[in-house]
Every structure is written in C-alpha cells, then in structure tokens.
Structure 1
C-alpha cells in the first residue's frame, strides 16, 4: 500500500534547500525502531518479500538475492526527504533490532505530497507493531518533510491495511483505480491531517 503527504504551502521546510542532511537514526517507539536497512538484513528481508501473499497488494515485484542485496546496499546511505527521491527504512524490533518489515517515503517535486509504502512480515502482523511503525513514520514525515497531510492508498482488497489506517486515525476521502495482472482494481484514499495548534488567546 502507499501513503501520500500534502503540506501547508506557508510552512517552512525543515530541509536546507535540497541538500541531504543527517538525521539521527534509529527512531524508536515503544516496541519498534525505524532504522537504516543493511546488507546483513538480506535473509530477513527476503523472507517476507518473497511471500506471494505479502507481495499481492504491493507495487513492487519479487526479486532475487542479488537484486535485493543491491537494493539494501543503496538504501543504507540513501538521502532522506529529497524531492522525487525514494528512500526506504527498516522496521525492526526495538529490543533486538531484528528486521520485521520496511517502509518507503518519496516527497514529490513540488513538495505538495509524498508517498509512503510499507510491508510487514506476516509473523509479526496482528500485534500492533505495524500501527506503531506507521504512526512513527507519519510523525517523522510531517516533522522533517514539513507536511501536514498524510494520504494512504490501500488496495480495496487489503482489508488488514484498511483497518490499520482507520485504527490510527485515517479517514476515507475517495477512490481511484489502477491496473494489475488481474485487471482493473480499486484503491481507497485515506487521509490523516496534522492537528492545528490553537492560537493563544489575546490578553485584554
């Protein structure tokens, strides 16, 4: 599935022009960490990426070990939050740093939106770990990408992702269609908007 992020045009970007800037990683929450992918993650990465049921609702294709290894090596140092540049982070258990999934982000050229896609190993689904990871990446994208709106586009058949999004505060906005090997399919567009801070009351 994918997520898209729109920003308030009046907000000043956290990025200095379009130059890559270092961010402290990992980002940890209660039970998960978002960290850089490593070549040493190959076995864990391929364990879920080669699962046909996992790949069914995703935009990527299953690849061999050589291609996966090259991808992991590239993502190890990929710039973050640049225009039209995808980067991917690993979703790991906080205590052990074991890779259980991954999440990707791409900010569009006008900084009006960004896409996020995520995948979680079925062994670790149904435990709330994916919810924690998506909450965290949404927050970090708003913070470092200077965006105010996150839009998710799950395949309409992907009931688990739809339930996850609704559980963490995303609301439906519309639908779109796309083509896959089974023909025309629907995706449901969900949105989550950054809460606006109330202006302090004027003193009289």
Structure 2
C-alpha cells in the first residue's frame, strides 16, 4: 500500500509539472494588430499598428491562461503619414495623452484542446470595456527556425468606436470597427 501511495504521489508531481503554465512572448515582427471601418459608405478601410507587444500564459492541460497585450497607438499605419497623424489626434486616438491601447484577458475559453475565444478588457483612450476575441485559428508547435515552442493565433472582435470616445464623424465614418489580430509568440 505504501508503494502505491508513493507512486501516486510521484505521478501527481510529474503530472503537475506537465500541466504547468507556459509563458509565451509575443513576436512583434510576426504580429499584426489591424482595424477596419467603413468610410462614408464608399469602402472599408483597413489600417494597422506596427508595434504590438505582450505575453500569453497557457496551461493547455488545465485549459486556463492569460493574455496581456500592449499596442503602441503611435505606431498606427494607414499607409499615409498625414492620415496617421489625423488618427493620432484628439478626435480619434489622442496618442499624446493615451500612447497605448491595452487588452487584458479575464478568461480563456477552450473547445476541446483548441482555444476558441478570450474574454477580457480593452482600453482605448482611457476607456475600458469588456471585449471578447473570437479565435479563428490556434496552433502550438515547435518553431522550425527558432527551435523553441511557439503558439500562434488569429482573432477578431467588433467594437463601437463611439464607446471609446473616438467617434468623430460617426455615423458617416462607420462607428462599427472590426479588430483583427494575427499573433505569433515564442516560449520564454
């Protein structure tokens, strides 16, 4: 009986080690944070932020973890320097006062072994609102070039920019904004 208990204790410890949370650092060179909105009914405009950093903690066995992301709002890239400055102005992102956009998760939701969505809080211009990211793809595997474990995902969410005090010209310039994220991260 003592041998069985000792085996169970050792097995429990080794299982705990296998199920330990793993921390991944966002690879900024392979991560894109984008936003899309309708412009005067003529077209949907797609822009991005060139600098996204953060960490992702995953415990795939326990199906838990966290996501903490920081977007440099001054890195907005519309493709035109003049328009970048316009988006950074007080009417929209007000990057002089609010230089970052943040997302902090409150819960990761799995379907089977796949991450399906992330509940969390998005902060833009000092306004924090709950936002759920729908994960459209999720993959973890050894990175073939970096020789480290890596995880990647694509996720989308919809917000109303007026709810974040960035509603200049709404509704002519669309209030509905689609956020999309392509994220790659490397294990610490």
- Tell me the TM-score normalised to structure 1 length: 0.30
Structure ranking higher in strand proportion = 2
**Higher Cα radius of gyration:** 2
Which of structures 1 and 2 has the larger relative contact order (alpha carbons within 8 angstroms, sep 6+)? 1
